[in-house]
Amino acid sequence: MPESTVKIAIDGVTKTYRTRKQRDSFLGRFLPGIRKETIEVKALDNLDLTVPGGKFVSIVGPSGCGKTTALRMMDGLVTPDTGVVKVNGTQVTGPRKECGFVFQDFGLYPWRSVLDNVAFGPELAGVGKEKRYELARRNIDLVGLHGFDGMFPHQLSGGMQQRVGIARMLTVEPEIMLMDEPFGALDALTRRLMQFELIRILSSRESATSVFVTHVLDEALLLGDLVIIMTARPGRVKEVVQVPFSREERGEELLESSLFAELRHHLWVSLHEEQIA
């Protein structure tokens, strides 16, 4: 892929997490010196991953394969042990202003109204109150929450809270949207509605680049232009699947099509191989 079309590049990245674990709870009462031992878990090993500009990229893989770690590296929230992560050709060394992040657990501030939650990013950037509220209200309307500006997170359903999270991300006007299983805490019906809602929202931001971590294969195919399949831990890229559907085709009918079923089966077989390897 020509470098000019690459938005995010992960090159030869390795990441190992180290934790302290109690070795023997009985002996540990009397011999504190042997109470804990260091446990190492290699999440990623020599990961190479490329995200083209203007594309929606879904990442799937077995549990614990480093999907979230890779996503957080793109935004500078996690530092690799070895290798390089670049955004727009520049090495990532900390949080990037080009990136917006949506977390699985919503991450809303309970003491802030919907309006103030959505306006938080521009507020941090020093944008004046009138301007940041204008941006926030525009995106609150875009995600279908017109009239909910003054409500607080505890007054909203899970789906509505995640809409607020998406609006908050959009309000910082990111070039790159990073989403870590944002619909994982929702019931099946709300999740499906939010998938179609996200397609609608992103149709107004066609130049944006999106990276979406999920463990649901239907979701990966429905949303993604590309699906990256990762190996079992330590994670590497096993395969990149091109999704042949246009934005206009991504509706309920697509989910029932034979081609969609074939692609979903291909993803399932590839992931199943990793689970039993």
Same domain, yes or no, for 187 and 224? yes
Residue 104 pLDDT: 80
Left if phi > 0, otherwise alpha if psi is -120 to 50, otherwise beta: which for 173? left
Residue 114 pLDDT: 96
Show Cβ contacts of residue 138 under 8 Å, excluding neighbours closer than 6 positions: none
Range of the domain at 215: 3-14+44-98+176-276
Is pLDDT above 80 for 44?
yes
Q: What is the mean pLDDT of residues 57-67?
A: 94
- Helices 188-202 and 158-171 cross at an angle (nearest 10°) of 20
Least confident of 20-34, 155-169, 256-270: 20-34
- In terms of pLDDT, which residue wins out, 38 or 124? 124
Is pLDDT above 70 for 248?
yes
Q: What is the mean pLDDT of residues 44-66?
A: 94
Domain assignment present for residue 195? The answer is: yes
Residue 203 pLDDT: 82
Same domain, yes or no, for 158 and 197? no
Same domain, yes or no, for 115 and 80? no
Please name which of 109, 74, 91 lies closest in space to residue 179, comparing C-alpha atoms. Answer: 74
- For residues 232 and 277, is the Cβ–Cβ distance under 8 A? yes
Residue at which a domain ends, from 123, 148, 173: 173
Same domain, yes or no, for 210 and 221? yes
Same domain, yes or no, for 159 and 217? no
Domain assignment present for residue 24? The answer is: no
Residue at which a domain ends, from 154, 173, 192: 173
Please name which of 274, 221, 228 lies closest in space to residue 250, comparing C-alpha atoms. Answer: 221
Residue 54 pLDDT: 92
Q: What is the mean pLDDT of residues 2-23?
A: 81
Please name which of 229, 172, 252, 167 lies closest in space to residue 202, comparing C-alpha atoms. Answer: 167
Residue 5 pLDDT: 86
Strands 209-213 and 82-87: unpaired
Is pLDDT above 50 for 4?
no
Residue 32 pLDDT: 59
Residue 263 pLDDT: 96
Please state the pTM of the whole predicted model.
0.88
Domain assignment present for residue 198? The answer is: yes
Residue 1 pLDDT: 53
Task: State CA 158 to chain mean position distance.
Answer: 17
Q: Which amino acid is at 269?
A: V
Show Cβ contacts of residue 262 under 8 Å, excluding neighbours closer than 6 positions: none
Give residue-wise pLDDT tens across range 173-232: 899 999 999 888 888 888 998 899 899 888 877 788 999 999 999 999 999 999 999 999
Domain assignment present for residue 258? The answer is: yes
Is pLDDT above 50 for 245?
yes
Domain count across the chain: 2
Is pLDDT above 80 for 154?
yes
Same domain, yes or no, for 70 and 57? yes
Same domain, yes or no, for 198 and 252? yes
Please name which of 186, 215, 210 lies closest in space to residue 198, comparing C-alpha atoms. Answer: 210
Domain assignment present for residue 30? The answer is: no
Residue 187 pLDDT: 87
Residue 83 pLDDT: 96
Q: Tell me the pLDDT band of 3, cut-offs 50, 70 and 90.
A: very low
Residue at which a domain ends, from 173, 189, 222: 173
Same domain, yes or no, for 132 and 238? no
Q: What is the mean pLDDT of residues 159-184?
A: 91
